[in-house]
């Protein structure tokens, strides 16, 4: 008789998750994966209309879902915002630092104000939310999991990506630093490095015929990724199946880094 698989280690039933930038693209794909695994999900996003659509999407999966309109550049507002989310969910067991942006400019031409704004969103906001998460988990002696979205640019760079590559290199070190400091408290910190994924953020690259051909040629699996391709890795990192895994970046890139 066939054995029924025991997948309880991968289940997130009874868990709660907060996903920044969870109303579209990679963030929504991650939120869907967490919801399918049983977690109640809260998303932070700047646009109310996209937030509402994302919540409807998640609730159609049978999930408990909430959305909060937020500008993560407003660091002073994050403590009160986080307290609201934690109160509504009961607690936050899983934090996904996904929100981010891109600045396209050669290093020699990069406006420092633009660079600082990018670092504030891609790095500082994630650190600030991670601090709030860790303080609550440590105070209640509860374990937790943080997943940060890194990038291929955490490992390599190409012309015109100076600001983005610097910020995502910082995310890689953020993951390692927090993992080392917070492991004694049962807080695991890992990252996902997406390959070339079809999202609104990469639309300009998708529309560039030469770049599209290069992505397909340089990706052994021969295609762009989809946001849902990242969901399983996020669920794994958030779940008890990854209980001895911390300080790592898993690259979900169709083999791109292995080929270069």
Q: Which residues are catalytic?
A: 164
Map tokens 């907060």 to a residue.
Answer: 18
Residue 164 is encoded by which pair of tokens? 């983005």
Lay out the sheet containing 144-149: strands in order across: 65-69, 40-45, 16-20, 94-97, 144-149, 187-194, 249-252
Residue 217: closest CA among 177, 165, 164, 254: 254
Map tokens 């390959």 to a residue.
Answer: 195
Q: Phi and psi dihedrals of 46, rounded to 5?
A: -85, -25
Task: Please give the span between the terminal C-alpha atoms of the chain, in angstroms, as a whole number.
Answer: 46
Residue 230 is encoded by which pair of tokens? 């990242």
Residue 106 is encoded by which pair of tokens? 């050669």
187-194 vs 249-252, strand pairing mode: parallel
- Listing DSSP states for 209-241 in one string gives HHHHHHHHHHSTT-S-B-GGGGHHHHHHHHSGG
Per DSSP (E only), the strands in 98-239 are 144-149, 187-194
Q: How far apart are CA 179 and CA 174, in angstroms?
A: 8
- Listing DSSP states for 84-139 in one string gives HHHHHHSS--EEEE-------B-GGG--HHHHHHHHIIIIIHHHHHHHHHHHHHHH
Going by the DSSP 8-state scheme, the letter that residue 4 receives in this structure is: P
């Amino acid at each position: 008789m066939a054995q029924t698989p025991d997948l309880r280690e991968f289940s997130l039933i009874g868990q709660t998750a907060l996903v920044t930038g969870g109303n579209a693209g990679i963030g929504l794909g991650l939120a869907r994966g967490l919801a399918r695994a049983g977690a109640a999900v809260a998303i932070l996003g700047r646009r109310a209309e996209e937030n509402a659509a994302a919540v409807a999407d998640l609730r159609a999966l049978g999930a408990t879902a909430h959305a909060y309109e937020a500008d993560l550049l407003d660091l002073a507002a994050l403590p009160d915002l986080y307290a609201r989310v934690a109160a509504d969910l009961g607690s936050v067991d899983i934090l996904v630092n996904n929100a981010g942006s891109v600045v396209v400019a050669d290093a020699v031409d990069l406006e420092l104000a633009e660079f600082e704004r990018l670092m504030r969103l891609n790095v500082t906001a994630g650190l600030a939310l991670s601090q709030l998460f860790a303080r609550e988990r440590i105070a209640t002696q509860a374990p937790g999991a943080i997943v940060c979205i890194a990038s291929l640019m955490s490992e390599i760079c190409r012309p015109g990506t100076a600001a983005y590559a610097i910020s995502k290199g910082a995310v890689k070190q953020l993951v390692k630093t927090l993992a080392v400091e917070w492991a004694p408290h049962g807080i695991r910190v890992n990252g996902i490095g997406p390959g070339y994924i079809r999202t609104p953020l990469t639309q300009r690259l998708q529309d560039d015929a030469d770049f599209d051909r290069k992505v397909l040629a340089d990706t052994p699996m021969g295609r762009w990724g989809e946001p849902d391709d990242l969901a399983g890795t996020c669920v794994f990192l958030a779940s008890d199946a990854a209980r001895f895994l911390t300080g790592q970046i898993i690259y979900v890139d169709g083999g791109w880094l292995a080929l270069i």
